[in-house]
Amino acid sequence: MTAPDILAFSPDSGDDELLFQHIARDLRERGYAICPGALPLSLSEALLGHLDTMPGSRFARAGVGREGEHTHNRFVRSDEICWITGESPAGQAWLDWSARLQQFLNRQLLLGLFSFESHFAHYGPGDFYRKHLDAFRGETNRVLSLVAYLNRGWQPDDGGELLMYLDESGEQTLKVVPALGTLVVFLSEEFPHEVLPAQRDRHSIAGWFRVNTSTAERVDPPR
Ligand SMILES: O=C(O)CCC(=O)C(=O)O
Ligand SMILES: [Fe+2]
């Protein structure tokens, strides 16, 4: 297993431009970017504060599959999610920040990202999400996946890593610790990945930038 070098950002830098440049460069060069401590601290704090106030009833068991084939398959994933609509100030701040990233990447990489959907995810102890792709080649308009972790004090033996498969053979993998402020961005069609079970509650946001296709009117899948 080889872990490519990862450039860390100071969470206090407050300089989105530098971070966005780093993400754009890594996406261009290898199709993914992993940025520990990169989510602006004020945004992390706001999202954590919001999570604290959210009743568990706002979360619903996550499903898999597209519209017609949408199912709740406990063998594939066992987390629960809550879509981010922007009705809370923290949710809106997240959407604003993601919109700035979208605009930057569109300018730099001409990706034509058109919209963004995202949800909070909660994995309880033992929960997992088996190996999957966020988009299937030619079948969907999810282009870029964005994950942000919201876990203070994550310890090495807490588990819950994101395991990314970097090559077709599945030999080259990368484990990402879901520590507060770590961001992962990757081409949705290119990288299978899975969430390993954790020993404790694991909070994150998962989001997808989409292009506008002829099927864009459909709710596809977000559920
Ligand atoms: O939380 C993570 O590390 C990744 C989640 C994920 O793969 C997904 O929601 O599609
Ligand atoms: Fe995923």
- CA of 126 from ligand 1 middle (Å) equals 15
CA-closest residue to ligand 1 atom 5: 206
Q: Tell me if 190 is assigned to some domain.
A: yes
CA-closest residue to ligand 1 atom 9: 206
Q: Tell me if 66 is assigned to some domain.
A: no
Find all residues with CB under 8 Å of 208, minimum gap 6, and list them: 116, 117, 118, 134, 135, 142, 143, 144, 145, 146, 188
Q: Tell me if 133 is assigned to some domain.
A: yes
The pLDDT-based confidence of 65 (bands split at 50, 70, 90) is: low
Query: Of 75-79, 119-123, 154-158, 194-198, which range is least confident?
Result: 75-79
According to the model, what pLDDT value does residue 14 have?
Answer: 52
Alpha-carbon gap, residue 35 to 21, rounded angstroms:
12
Q: Which residues pair with 207 in a beta bridge?
A: 118, 146
Q: Tell me if 197 is assigned to some domain.
A: yes
Average pLDDT taken over every residue of the chain = 87
Helix (H) or strand (E) holding 34: strand 32-35
Residue type, 215: T
Residue from 147, 158, 176 to probe ligand 1 pocket by mutation (most atoms less than 8 Å from CB): 147
Domain that residue 169 falls in = 16-56+77-210
Alpha-carbon gap, residue 31 to 24, rounded angstroms:
9
CA-closest residue to ligand 1 atom 10: 134
ipTM of the complex: 0.99
Q: Tell me if 167 is assigned to some domain.
A: yes
pTM for this entry? 0.88
Q: Tell me if 176 is assigned to some domain.
A: yes
| Residue, of 107 and 1, whose pLDDT is higher | 107
| Residue, of 99 and 215, whose pLDDT is higher | 99
Mean pLDDT over residues 64-84, rounded? 75
Tell me: cis bond preceding 221? Omega within 30 of 0 counts. yes
Work out how many domains the chain is built from and give that number: 1
Q: Which residues pair with 132 in a beta bridge?
A: 193
Residue from 143, 162, 174, 191 to probe ligand 1 pocket by mutation (most atoms less than 8 Å from CB): 162
According to the model, what pLDDT value does residue 148 have?
Answer: 98
Q: Tell me if 219 is assigned to some domain.
A: no
The pLDDT-based confidence of 139 (bands split at 50, 70, 90) is: low
Residues enclosing ligand 1, CB less than 6 A? 121, 129, 134, 147, 162, 193, 195, 204, 206
Taking residue 149's Cβ as centre, other Cβ atoms within 10 Å add up to 23
Q: Which residues pair with 165 in a beta bridge?
A: 173
CATH number of 112's domain: 2.60.120.620
Alpha-carbon gap, residue 223 to 221, rounded angstroms:
6
Q: Tell me if 123 is assigned to some domain.
A: yes
